[in-house]
């Protein structure tokens, strides 16, 4: 197996020459993933998967063709080139295609930890055992997943781009449950040895083991404290419908009419930065273009969106910011390394203490955009929703449905924690603080008539 940037560049260069077309791009993605899933304190799914993907994109007389395969032998490569070229030849010229991006060599050495790459099934099982034993002691149950992934991503094109990054990822999610209550914890990082197994288990268990009975609240507007898990959902969904240049250019994003205007409280700053190791490092996008930091909302003012080569070429004043997804895709560019600036609150508890009557929310479930332009999002609370009374968490609360404009919520932010956490993103990680938001709109309750 070819591995390492020098040999992979050489291998992909040969494919480019073999294609012998006006322009060509080849992407190689190799992954090794170990995944252990568990429920009721017992492993029920345990897998190791090795994948390899070769994506070839060619341009022939401004006609584009793409083909991907995991058959990486001489016959498979020849077949993929032939298919990509055949698709291009059968195409109509693409008037929006100007060129594949040009560039130089990027080799990103950060983001890879050998211990994660070497994590064996028995080591993952041992970590799961450690987490579950705490639940057994409390007569509770854990469900979750623990995974380790190593990845080699390389992109070479005929205009000089040679990009390579080897990375590792360790990830754990846990839901602790006991009777009608549940709690959640999540961790994401590059180094499996840094995974705080016991801490995560305790964090999830702490919300599932209240002795107080669960109560049902009426829908309505509440002041809420959102843990970073819930804030991440708001930021990711806002990005998904608003911060892509494609949605911006097609007028499907609120940003199309709001650049330079106030859209949120001055305490809100959101940006994307693939080069910041406080997130999940991505040195370049799926066209091999180095990522740029892009300010999306700056102190409440809408500032910009993210571009790939195609959307940058469509717009006179735009620069490619290095946010392409794997080609071909109809979505366009996507911000996948999102950050929200923290604030002044020293802790989540400090924010809770300022609330007379409100809700504490650990995470959201099944959030989906209802109206993209108005950024209206709906979803459910899950795994740790509590009533706040006189500055304290007093009772667990039955899960509630929210239907809320994200922008309106960001205009009602009253406090942010100084500390930020790396939480699950759409395609990577999102680093956000916890938020205190007033007038958060709940429209329903999850309750069966019989219960």
Partner 1 sequence: MIPFALQIADALQGMNVDYGDVRVIHLQAQEITVTNQIPEVVGGSETLGFGVRVLKGGAWGYAASATMDASLIVPTVKRALAVAEASTMVASERDPFQPPPVVQGKFVTPCKIDPFDVPIEQKVTLLLAATKIMQQTKQIHLAKGFLDFRKERKVFVATTGTQLDQEIIQCGGGIVAYATDGNDVQHRSYPSSFRGNFASAGWEFVEALGLVSHAEQVADEARQLLAAPLCPTMQTTLILEDDQLALQVHESIGHPIELDRIFGYEASYAGTSFLRPDMLRSFRYASEIVNVTADATIPGGLGTFGYDDEGTPAQRVPIIRDGILVGFLSSCSTAPRLGLASNGTMRADGWQNFPLIRMTNINLEPGEWDRNALIADTKKGLLLQTNKSWSIDDQRVNFQFSTEVAREIHNGKLGRLYKNPVYTGITPQFWNSCDAICSDAFAQFWGTPNCGKGEPPQTARVGHRVAPARFRNVRVWGAK
Site for partner 1 in 223-282 (CB under 8 A): 250-252
- Rounded to an integer, what distance in angstroms lies between the CA atom of residue 384 and that of residue 352? 15
- Rounded to an integer, what distance in angstroms lies between the CA atom of residue 56 and that of residue 161? 14
- Report the residue number, 69 or 341, with the smaller CB distance to partner 1: 69
Any residues with CB less than 8 A from the CB of 198 and at least 6 apart, and which? Answer: 130, 131, 134
Q: Is 86 in the site for partner 1 (CB under 8 A)?
A: yes
- Rounded to an integer, what distance in angstroms lies between the CA atom of residue 418 and that of residue 123? 34
- Rounded to an integer, what distance in angstroms lies between the CA atom of residue 292 and that of residue 312? 13
- Report the residue number, 80 or 355, with the smaller CB distance to partner 1: 80
Which burial class, exposed, middle or buried, applies to 418 when counting CB atoms under 10 A from its CB (0-12, 13-18, 19+)?
Answer: middle
Q: Is 308 in the site for partner 1 (CB under 8 A)?
A: no
Residues 143-162 that bind partner 1 (CB under 8 A): 143-145, 147
Q: Is 321 in the site for partner 1 (CB under 8 A)?
A: no
Please count the other Cβ atoms lying within 10 Å of the Cβ belonging to residue 201.
Answer: 27
- Rounded to an integer, what distance in angstroms lies between the CA atom of residue 429 and that of residue 388? 29
Helix (H) or strand (E) holding 11: helix 5-19
- Terminal CA-to-CA distance of the chain, rounded, Å? 58
Helices marked H in 300-442 — which ranges?
309-314, 348-352, 406-411
Pick from 68, 138, 354, 394 the residue near partner 1 by CB under 8 A.
68
CA 196 to chain centre: 21
Residues 327-346 that bind partner 1 (CB under 8 A): 327-330
Residues 352-391 that bind partner 1 (CB under 8 A): 365-374, 376, 378-380, 382
- Report the residue number, 128 or 413, with the smaller CB distance to partner 1: 128
Tell me how far, at minimum, the Cβ of 313 lies from partner 1, in Å.
13
Pick from 102, 138, 209, 446 the residue near partner 1 by CB under 8 A.
446
- Report the residue number, 34 or 342, with the smaller CB distance to partner 1: 34
Tell me how far, at minimum, the Cβ of 273 lies from partner 1, in Å.
25
User: Which part of the chain contacts partner 1 (CB under 8 A), choosing from 192-200, 298-306, 322-330, 348-356?
Assistant: 322-330
> Are 23 and 97 within 8 A, CB to CB?
no
Q: Is 52 in the site for partner 1 (CB under 8 A)?
A: yes
Residues 405-434 that bind partner 1 (CB under 8 A): none
Tell me how far, at minimum, the Cβ of 200 lies from partner 1, in Å.
12
Helix (H) or strand (E) holding 306: none
User: Which part of the chain contacts partner 1 (CB under 8 A), choosing from 59-67, 190-198, 287-295, 317-325?
Assistant: 59-67
- Report the residue number, 42 or 261, with the smaller CB distance to partner 1: 42
Tell me how far, at minimum, the Cβ of 163 lies from partner 1, in Å.
21
């Amino acid at each position: 197996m070819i591995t390492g940037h020098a040999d992979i560049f050489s291998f992909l260069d040969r494919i480019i020459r073999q294609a012998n077309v006006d322009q060509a791009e080849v992407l190689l993605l190799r992954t090794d993933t170990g995944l252990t899933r568990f429920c009721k304190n017992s492993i029920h799914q345990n897998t190791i998967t090795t994948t390899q993907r070769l994506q070839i994109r060619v341009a022939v007389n401004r006609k584009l063709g793409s083909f991907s395969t995991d058959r990486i032998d001489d016959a498979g490569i020849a077949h993929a080139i032939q298919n990509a070229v055949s698709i291009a030849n059968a195409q109509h010229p693409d008037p929006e295609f100007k060129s594949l991006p040009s560039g130089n060599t990027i080799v990103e050495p950060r983001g890879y930890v050998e211990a994660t790459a070497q994590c064996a099934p028995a080591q993952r099982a041992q970590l799961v055992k450690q987490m579950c034993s705490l639940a057994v002691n409390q007569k509770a149950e854990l469900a979750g997943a623990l995974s380790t992934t190593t990845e080699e991503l390389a992109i070479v094109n005929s205009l000089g781009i040679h990009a390579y990054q080897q990375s590792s990822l360790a990830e754990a999610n846990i839901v602790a449950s006991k009777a009608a209550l549940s709690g959640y914890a999540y961790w994401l990082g590059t180094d499996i040895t840094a995974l705080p197994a016991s801490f995560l288990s305790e964090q999830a268990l702490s919300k599932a083991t209240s002795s107080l009975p669960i109560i049902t609240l009426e829908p309505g507007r509440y002041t809420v404290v959102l843990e970073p898990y819930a804030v991440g959902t708001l930021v990711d969904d806002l990005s998904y419908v608003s911060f892509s240049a494609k949605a911006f250019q097609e007028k499907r994003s609120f940003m199309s009419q709001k650049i330079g205007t106030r859209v949120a409280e001055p305490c809100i700053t959101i940006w994307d930065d693939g080069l910041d190791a406080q997130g999940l490092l991505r040195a370049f996008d799926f066209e091999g273009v180095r990522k740029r930091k892009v300010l999306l909302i700056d102190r409440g003012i809408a500032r910009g969106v993210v571009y790939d080569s195609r959307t940058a070429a469509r717009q006179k004043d735009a620069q490619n910011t290095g946010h392409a997804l794997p080609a071909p895709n109809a979505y366009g560019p996507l911000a996948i390394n999102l950050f929200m600036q923290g604030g002044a609150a020293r802790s989540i508890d400090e924010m809770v203490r300022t609330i007379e009557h409100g809700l504490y929310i650990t995470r959201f479930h099944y959030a989906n955009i209802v109206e993209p332009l108005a950024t209206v999002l709906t979803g459910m609370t899950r795994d740790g929703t509590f009533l706040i009374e006189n500055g304290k968490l007093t009772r667990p609360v039955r899960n509630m449905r929210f239907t809320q404009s994200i922008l309106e919520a960001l205009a009602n932010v009253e406090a942010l924690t100084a500390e930020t956490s790396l939480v699950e993103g759409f395609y990577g990680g999102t680093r956000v603080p916890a938020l205190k938001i007033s007038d958060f709109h709940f429209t329903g309750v999850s309750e069966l008539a019989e219960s």
